[in-house]
Amino acid sequence: MNKSDLIDSMAEHAGITKAAAKKALDAFLIDVEGALQKGKRVSLVGFGSWSVSKRSAREGRNPQTGKTIKIKAKNVVKFKAGSDLSKAVN
């Protein structure tokens, strides 16, 4: 499912226009992104939670040459599925 499919589905299930569903989805994504940028955790009980974790610098290998390279530290977004979502897919 892509963003367009999700908007169509949201509009149908909520009984709203596609334009309203797009606005709602965009607002949700902006708010989640903003919270994660501030280092906060976003949790939807039963569905799951997003958090930011720091990945430290490390050494890696270039698979083509085998040469050792340095990989910079960075922040990564993690998602952990909630119990209801886990049960729904199993």
Average of pLDDT values for 42-62?
Answer: 96
40, 34 in Cβ contact below 8 A? Answer: no
In whole angstroms, give the CA distance from residue 89 to residue 48: 13
- Indicate if 62 and 89 belong to the same structural domain: yes
Residue 85 shares a structural domain with residue 51: yes
Provide the pLDDT confidence category of residue 88 given band limits of 50, 70 and 90. Answer: very high
Judge whether 61 and 69 are in contact, CB under 8 Å: yes
The pTM for the full model equals 0.79
Average pLDDT of the chain is 96
Q: How many domains does the chain have?
A: 2
In a shared domain, residues 54 and 33: no
State the residue range of the domain holding 6.
Answer: 1-40
What pLDDT is stored for residue 42 in this prediction?
97
Examine the domain organization and report whether 29 and 46 are in the same domain.
no
Give which of 70, 38, 75, 47 is closest to 57, Cα–Cα. Answer: 70
pLDDT band at 39 (very low <50, low <70, confident <90, very high): very high
Domain with residue 77: its CATH number is 4.10.520.10
Q: Are residues 52 and 80 in the same domain?
A: yes
